[in-house]
């Protein structure tokens, strides 16, 4: 079930990770815009070998090679076209503004994507912002707050540590970083002796992935995986006190609030999973994920034999991982997405065409597979407006 590797844990420095999940031939990017089917099918691929640190609980892809990545303006990661996601972001922005009195303050966001969340904070609180992301696209900024925001199309690193903020935010980025301790420590050094600076990070929760056998949530860009316990231990080791640790967005995300301290933080918070619980989750996943793969292969093969039309809803990383891990071809006809920037492009690895929802009015699928259950309600409403009633199932 497990194989012991000699890789070093990038969070605590321990040697000897337990590998428990291996897969080959996975596209090294899954939301990079692919202009043709041929480009998508032939896009570079890599391997995933998940290793588990028995000391701190950190999980990483020990086969990861950061040099193959191509984060640029072609990287289309935004979830900003979803009403469900936008409502979540608005609620989070209002919470942060109220809790930390973010009015006329300086905000830094590491991994800001297209800048939507940072812009929202600056609009609502009349704040000033600095965002870091090589995938930022200036042409998509249309906010009146633009004059108060600086976007730097680069990865955040030590060379930018002179930028100071009243609050530092990093959402859905740490999982892309091979050495999380290095990034978090850089943030701590940038704060220095300013104890009033608060830091907010958000990452996917590996607990759900392991318990739900969600193989579609394992992909090459995500080289680092955390549960609440391993994330809290990382921040404590880096010189922070953990003041809030919760699960959000239907328990898909971990949200952590920390502040710098000079001493040592030994306080364990409620909901902070220990090593024993995580080990059980890893063992469960290792023993059962193949069963989940086979169940989906069987389900799709049956539908294919009956001549049913199936589409996947969600062209992001989950969709790419689902298709490539299962080696899906003509069992699924198209992939649907509400993001207009992704329409008429193709899924990395398999070459499935990405279409707008309106395409389904003519195509009339028998089944829609939703890649994230949190979006089911808005998808059902969209299908209802088009007057079509396919069977809807979720991963």
Among candidate residues 22, 133, 119, 123, the one with its CA nearest the CA of residue 77: 133
How many C-beta atoms lie closer than 10 Å to residue 213's C-beta?
Answer: 19
Which pLDDT score is estimated for 20? 96
Q: What is the pLDDT of residues 290-342, one digit of tens each?
A: 999 999 999 999 999 999 999 999 999 999 999 999 998 899 999 999 999 99
User: Tokens 């920037």 map to which residue?
Assistant: 341
CA angle 233, 21, 223 (to 5 degrees): 50
In the 8-state DSSP scheme, what is residue 35? -
Q: Is the pLDDT of residue 187 over 70?
A: yes
Q: Which residues contact 263 (CB under 8 A, 6 or more apart)?
A: none
> pLDDT category, 16, cuts 50, 70, 90?
confident
Q: Which residues contact 164 (CB under 8 A, 6 or more apart)?
A: 106, 108, 190, 194, 197
Q: Which residues contact 314 (CB under 8 A, 6 or more apart)?
A: 335, 336, 337, 370, 371, 372, 375
pTM over 0.85: yes
Cα 236 from Cα 17, distance rounded (Å): 21
Q: What is the mean pLDDT of the chain?
A: 94
Which pLDDT score is estimated for 270? 64
- Cα dihedral 127, 144, 123, 258, rounded to 10, equals -50
- Cα dihedral 351, 354, 360, 365, rounded to 10, equals 30
User: DSSP letter string over 196-249?
Assistant: T-EEEEEEEBHHHHHHTT-GGG--TT--EEB-HHHHHHHHHHTTEEEEEEEEET
Q: Which residues contact 345 (CB under 8 A, 6 or more apart)?
A: 33, 34, 35, 40, 353, 354
Would you call 26 helix, strand, or coil by DSSP? strand
C-alpha distances in Å from residue 334, one per residue of 18, 235, 329: 37, 42, 10
Residue 262 phi, psi dihedral angles, 5° rounding: -95, -25
Q: What is the pLDDT of residues 208-240, one digit of tens each?
A: 999 999 999 999 999 999 999 999 999 999 999
Q: What is the pLDDT of residues 110-159, one digit of tens each?
A: 999 999 999 999 999 999 999 999 999 999 988 999 999 999 999 999 99
Residue 385 phi, psi dihedral angles, 5° rounding: -60, -30
Cα 269 from Cα 242, distance rounded (Å): 8
Q: Which residues contact 126 (CB under 8 A, 6 or more apart)?
A: 103, 104, 148
Among candidate residues 357, 265, 257, the one with its CA nearest the CA of residue 314: 357
Cα 32 from Cα 75, distance rounded (Å): 4
Which pLDDT score is estimated for 97? 98
CA angle 215, 216, 222 (to 5 degrees): 95
| Segment among 69-73, 99-103, 359-363 with least mean pLDDT | 69-73
List the beta bridge partners of residue 61. 50
Is the CB of residue 76 less than 8 Å from the CB of residue 339?
Answer: yes
Cα 137 from Cα 133, distance rounded (Å): 9
- Cα dihedral 91, 219, 379, 33, rounded to 10, equals 100
**Domains, the chain, with CATH or none:** 3-63 (no CATH), 83-277 (3.40.50.150), 307-394 (3.40.50.720)
Is the CB of residue 23 less than 8 Å from the CB of residue 286?
Answer: no
């Amino acid at each position: 079930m497990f194989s012991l590797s000699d890789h070093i844990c990038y969070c605590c420095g321990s040697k000897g990770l337990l590998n428990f999940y291996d897969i080959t031939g996975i596209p090294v990017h899954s939301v990079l815009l692919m202009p043709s089917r041929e480009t998508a099918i032939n896009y570079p691929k890599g391997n995933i070998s998940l290793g588990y640190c028995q000391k701190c609980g950190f999980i990483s892809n020990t086969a990861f090679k950061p040099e193959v990545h191509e984060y640029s303006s072609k990287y289309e990661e935004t979830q900003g076209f979803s009403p469900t996601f936008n409502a979540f972001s608005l609620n989070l922005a209002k919470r942060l503004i109220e809790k930390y009195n973010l009015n006329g303050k300086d905000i830094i966001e590491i991994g800001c994507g297209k800048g939507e969340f940072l812009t929202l904070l600056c609009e609502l609180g009349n704040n000033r912002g600095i965002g870091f992301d090589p995938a930022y696209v200036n042409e998509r900024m249309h906010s009146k707050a633009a004059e108060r925001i600086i976007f730097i199309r680069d990865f955040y690193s030590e060379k930018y540590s002179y930028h100071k903020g009243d609050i530092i935010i990093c959402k859905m980025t740490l999982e892309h970083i091979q050495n999380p301790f290095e990034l978090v420590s850089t943030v701590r050094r940038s704060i220095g002796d300013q104890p009033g600076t608060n830091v907010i990070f958000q990452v996917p929760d590996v607990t759900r992935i392991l318990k739900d056998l969600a193989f579609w949530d394992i992909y090459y860009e995500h080289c680092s995986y955390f549960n609440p316990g391993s994330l809290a231990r990382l921040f404590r080791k880096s010189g922070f006190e953990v003041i809030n640790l919760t699960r959000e967005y239907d328990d898909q995300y971990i949200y952590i609030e920390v502040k710098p301290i000079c001493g040592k933080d030994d306080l364990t918070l409620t909901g902070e999973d220990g090593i024993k619980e995580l080990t059980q989750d890893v063992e469960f996943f290792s023993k059962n994920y193949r069963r989940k793969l086979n169940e989906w292969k069987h389900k799709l093969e049956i539908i294919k034999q009956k001549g049913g039309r199936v589409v996947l809803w969600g062209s992001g990383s989950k969709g790419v991982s689902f298709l490539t891990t299962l080696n899906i071809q003509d069992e699924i006809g198209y992939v649907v997405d509400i993001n207009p920037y992704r329409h008429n492009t193709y899924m990395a690895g398999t070459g499935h065409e990405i279409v707008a929802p309106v395409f389904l009015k003519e195509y009339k699928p028998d089944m829609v597979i939703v890649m994230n259950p949190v979006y089911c309600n808005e998808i059902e409403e969209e299908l209802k407006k088009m007057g079509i009633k396919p069977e809807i199932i979720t991963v």
